[in-house]
Amino acid sequence: MPEINGERVLADLRALKALAPFESGVHRPTLSPEHVASLKWLETELRAIGHEAKIDGIANVFGISKVTGPKLLGGSHLESQNHAGWLDGPLGVVYALEAARAVKADPAFTNCGVDVVACCDEEGHYGFFLGSRSAVGEVNDALIDGAVDRTSGIPMRDALAAAGLAGVPRHVIDPKRYVGFLEAHIEQGDWLEANDLKIGVVTSIVGIRQYVITTEGAQNHAGTTRMAIRKDAGVAAARIAVAISDQFPALAGERTVWTMGRITLEPGAPAVIPGRAELVLQMRDADNAVLDRLEGKVREIVAEADKSGPCRAAIRQTRRTEPAAMAPHFMDAVRGAAEADVPGRHVDMPSGAGHDAMVFSRHMPSGMLFVPSIGGISHHWTENTSDADIVMGARVYIDAVARLLGV
């Protein structure tokens, strides 16, 4: 099996962290100067091992091996959520980079290679998985033309131009080049840690459905409008939220989750009865049948609220991402590698978060592995994984790569 250099893996991750420090984590939103610096860092490292390296027109980084034999594509993403963790994304990129180095250095793998990709905007600052979708040919220019940063409102075209990528072609991979795609990631939950496990063998990635629920009432004076005649859109939205929380559990699966992560009231003043409210609901499960049940229920709840009044209520879907099953032979490779390194301390599990692997899985066999997250914390600057577990995960990753390359 090719040998990884654990200290180099840790040094690479720390080097990326140092490019965008925030508290104990990073702040590296898509196409920020810090993100662009990380792309250039990776490009330099890929060239150092003899790969053809390039940053394409949507800010994906590709490292392409020059060998003619079997090749595997590995990677993840380099941008972060705002003020977030240092391992979400970079762990998978650095594992793939180290695997590319290790495979190239091992005489038994002379004609095999690992290509590396860092996909832009997995975190969704401008859209949903724009980088990986572009890499497989699912993104057109019109989609990029309409993309704007969710925080700043800056158009993606302007941000790409500021990064020096205006007019640069987007690279689309040929799936037939690869035996498949393998992504490593921190778990972003506490299942592994809570059960004293070391590796999660990802079986599937959840589907995601998102909705905007709106209530329309009558904006009026908070001090002079009697309670009996009010049409308070905020109260109507709150009642819908309570109904969802009360009624969803009976229809949910073992790992179903739902979140009402944003509510806005208009005009949003203490002395004004809200005339309009907007509630964003997101639900996730690996089983479409479960999501169908929940969708039916929330539509029923909203319809009943609209019928009973005193406010109007409506719902519209704003996102639908299908569940993605990982390839059985990729799961076998990760499972075998984990059993060899940490016997009995691995588990098959679905991913509750979306990942680039779900996009690649539509075009080639794909797999994922998880390493433990301390305290189950992610999307926060305290996100962390022990050095020992980071190095352990890199060993399992390269063993799985070797099994998939068939040497």
Could you say which DSSP state residue 120 is in? T
For residue range 118-143, what is the model confidence (pLDDT) as tens digits? 999 999 999 989 999 999 999 999 99
Of the residues 295, 321, 347, the one at which a domain ends: 321
What is the predicted pLDDT for the residue at 170?
Answer: 98
Per the prediction, the chain carries an average pLDDT of 97
Token representation of residue 158? 């302007």
What is the predicted pLDDT for the residue at 241?
Answer: 99
Same-domain status, 62 and 158: yes
Same-domain status, 66 and 195: yes
Mean pLDDT of the 51-78 span: 98
State the total domains in the chain.
Answer: 2
pTM of the model: 0.91
Domain span at residue 38 reads 6-206+323-405
Same-domain status, 192 and 237: no
Question: Residue 323, preceding bond cis, omega within 30 degrees?
Answer: no
Of the residues 292, 321, 350, the one at which a domain ends: 321
Mean pLDDT of the 301-314 span: 98
* 1 in any annotated domain: no
407 pLDDT above the threshold of 80: no
Same-domain status, 22 and 105: yes
CATH code of the domain in which 17 resides: 3.40.630.10
Could you say which DSSP state residue 68 is in? S
CATH code of the domain in which 211 resides: 3.30.70.360
Same-domain status, 51 and 191: yes
70 pLDDT above the threshold of 70: yes
126 closest CA partner among 26, 59, 46: 59
What is the predicted pLDDT for the residue at 251?
Answer: 98
For residue range 327-339, what is the model confidence (pLDDT) as tens digits? 999 999 999 999 9
For residue range 379-389, what is the model confidence (pLDDT) as tens digits? 999 999 999 99
Q: What percent of the chain has pLDDT over 90?
A: 98
For residue range 14-31, what is the model confidence (pLDDT) as tens digits? 999 999 999 999 999 999
Mean pLDDT of the 59-86 span: 98
What is the predicted pLDDT for the residue at 133?
Answer: 98
Angle at 119 between CA 116 and CA 124, to 5 degrees: 160
For residue range 357-402, what is the model confidence (pLDDT) as tens digits? 999 999 999 999 999 999 999 999 999 999 999 999 999 999 999 9
Give burial (CB, 10 Å; 0-12/13-18/19+) of 281: buried
H helix runs in 113-175, sequence order? 130-135, 141-146, 156-162
Q: Do residues 115 and 64 touch, judged by C-beta distance below 8 A? A: yes
Catalogue the E-assigned strands of 231-323: 257-266, 272-273, 276-285, 312-321
Mean pLDDT of the 310-317 span: 99
